Structures are given as structure tokens and as C-alpha cells.
Amino acid sequence: MFRLERVKYRDILDIHALTIPKDKVTCVVGESGSGKTTLLRLFNKMISCTEGEIYYNNNAISAIDSIELRREIVMLPQTPTIFTGTIRDNLLIGLKFSEKPSINDERLTEILKMVSLKKSLEENAENLSGGEKQRLALGRVILMGPTVLLLDEPSSSLDEDTERIIIEQLVHCTRQNGKSLIMATHSKKIAQNYSDTIIEMKNGKVVDTRRIVDG
């Protein structure tokens, strides 16, 4: 799905060749500062590589309209963003920005359940805890049903149980709907248990690509 050819981003990232398969779960691991976030940002064109080219379904990414691309490849940033307003407003804002039709409260409540957020839709989103904000932001991007979901450490402020439940559902959902999921994570466990491919990064380079065989 993604193919990188001699990609460089300033002096931060240097990837000679990398392929990310379609309809799979891919985890990007590596120590802090190794370039995980930078890599994800390249995929939805929040930044453009300074050298080389990235292909998305065999089309050069530089030639694809950024807005259209980002409506298909949605990214959840590392620090969750909360917009002023209620939980409902925060869930719906993704659909609004991407000019997709709005949806009813029933579906919104389902999403809240999926990210284990036991709150009412009317509640002011600014009062949520760090972990709750993270789950709300996650719910927002799941709701948009993108073809490719880029998650930058989606569970960094969650406890182990909540993390496991949410990621499990998310992965299940992705596989069921034939979508792709690319996730940067610190958790070796998550990477090992849920991904089809693990990409390991170090100092802006890919040092290992492992395919996990179903078992």
C-alpha cells in the first residue's frame, strides 16, 4: 500500500526502501526520538519528504491532493487534541472537517463504548482526564472510518487493561472491515500481540522489518 523509495526528511529520517502492506495491522516501534512520528506524518502529507518519493497504491504521494489524501488516511496525533465544546462536538468535528455526513447519537454512544469512555455526550470535553481525552480523540478518528488509520501512540496514557481492551477491538474492527492500521507504539507487547508487521526504527532508519505469522 505504501512504498518508500530512498526517502529522506531533512536529517531526521533516512529510509532506503520500505513497503507497508494493505489491509494489515502494522506497528512502528523504536526508542523515543527515533522518527516514528515523523514517518507517520509523511504518510498523510503533514510533511513532505525532502528527497525520494512515497507511493500510495502506486501513486506518487506528492501528486495526490493533500486534503483528499488526509480524508482517506486519517491520523491521530501523539498528543490528543480537544476542541472547545461537548463530547458530542468533539466526536463530530472530524466528520465536519472532512465534509462527511453527520451521524446520530446512537452510533456516537456505540463509539464511546468502543473506546471505554463512560461519559454522556453532553459533557464538556475540556474537563476529561488525560487518558479520557486520548480515548475521545481515538473515538473521533474511528468514527470517520478511514481507509488507513495512522495512530501515534494511541494508548500512551492508558492503564494496561484498558489499553488491551481498546486495541483488541480496534484491531478486530480493522480486520473485519478490510482497512489498514499503522500504529506507532512504545509497547512491545501490543506490537507483538496484534500486528502483522513490526517496523523497528533507530536514529531515523528502519533497522528491522518483521512479519508476524498468524499463530
Partner 1 sequence: MDKVIDLQIWQLAAAYIFVGILLFIVRLRGIPREKEIIISSIRMTLQLILTGYILIYLFDNSNPFLTILAVGIMEIFAVHNIFKRVKVKLSNKLKIIIALSMVAGTTLSLLFFIFVVINLSPWYDPRYFIPIGGMLIGNSMTGISLGVSRLVEGMTDQKHLIESALMLGATSKMASKGIVDSAFDSAILPTINSMVGMGIVFLPGMMTGQILSGTSPVTAIEYQIAVMLGIVGSVALTVMLFVQFGYKTFFNEQHQLNI
Ligand X SMILES: Nc1ncnc2c1ncn2[C@@H]1O[C@H](COP(=O)(O)OP(=O)(O)OP(=O)(O)O)[C@@H](O)[C@H]1O
Query: If binding means CB under 6 A, how many residues of this protein chain bind ligand X?
Result: 10
65-84 residues in contact with Mg ion (CB under 5 A) are: 78
Q: How far is the CB of 161 from Mg ion (least distance, A)?
A: 24
Tell whether residue 76 is a contact of partner 1 (CB under 8 A).
Answer: yes
Which residue's CB is nearer to ligand X, number 152 or number 196?
Answer: 152
- Does 32 bind ligand X (CB under 6 A)? Our answer is yes
Contact window for Mg ion (CB under 5 A) among 29-37, 80-88, 135-143, 201-209: 29-37
The edge-to-edge listing of strands for the beta sheet with 51-56 is 13-20, 2-9, 51-56, 59-60
Handedness of CA 55, 36, 44, 158 (dihedral sign): positive
Asked if residues 191 and 27 have their Cβ atoms less than 8 Å apart, the reply is yes
Using the contact rule CB under 6 A, the part of the chain among 31-39, 64-72, 100-108, 123-131 near ligand X is: 31-39
* Closer residue to ligand X, CB minimum distance, 88 or 210: 210
Which one of Mg ion, partner 1, ligand X, none interacts with residue 140, CB within 5 to 8 A by kind? partner 1
Q: Is 59 in the site for partner 1 (CB under 8 A)?
A: no
Distances (CA, A) of 103 to 26, 86, 89, 106: 29, 16, 12, 8
- Contact residue for ligand X among 24, 27, 37, 108 (CB under 6 A): 37
Q: Cβ of residue 161: shortest distance to partner 1, in angstroms?
A: 27
Continuous segment of H or E residues that includes residue 38: helix 36-43
Judged by CB under 5 A, does residue 155 bind Mg ion? no
Long-range contacts of 102-107 (CB under 8 A, 24+ apart): 103/143, 107/143
| Separation of alpha carbons 199 and 211, rounded Å | 9
Distances (CA, A) of 127 to 79, 144, 153: 16, 24, 22
12 binds, among Mg ion, partner 1, ligand X, none (CB under 5 to 8 A by kind): ligand X
Q: Please, are residues 150 and 74 in contact by the beta-carbon 8 Å criterion? A: yes
For ligand X, the binding residues (CB under 6 A) are: 12, 30, 32-38, 78
